[in-house]
Amino acid sequence: MIYTIAVILVILWLLGYLAFNMGNLIHILLIIAVVVVLLRVIRGRKPL
């Protein structure tokens, strides 16, 4: 389930990046947020 959400977010991120190609900061923050949430889930901590 979490991997499906992560894949959907990555696809949406790529579409947004290719379509608008601006606001690089928000894309970097999105990647960091996804990685942090995935690490917390993998390590067994409660998600944010």
Flag whether 48 is in a domain: no
pTM above 0.75, yes or no: no
Flag whether 20 is in a domain: yes
**pLDDT band of 46, cuts 50, 70, 90:** low
Total structural domains in the chain?
A: 1
Q: End-to-end distance of the chain based on CA atoms, in angstroms?
A: 16
pLDDT score of 31 more than 60:
yes
Flag whether 34 is in a domain: yes
Among 2, 11, 13, 4, residue whose Cα is nearest residue 43: 2
User: Which residue segment(s) compose the domain that 18 sits in?
Assistant: 2-43
In this structure, are residues 37 and 48 in contact, taking their beta carbons and an 8 Å threshold?
yes
In this structure, are residues 24 and 35 in contact, taking their beta carbons and an 8 Å threshold?
no
Among 8, 27, 3, 29, residue whose Cα is nearest residue 17: 27
pLDDT score of 35 more than 80:
yes
Q: Of 4 and 20, which is predicted with more confidence?
A: 4
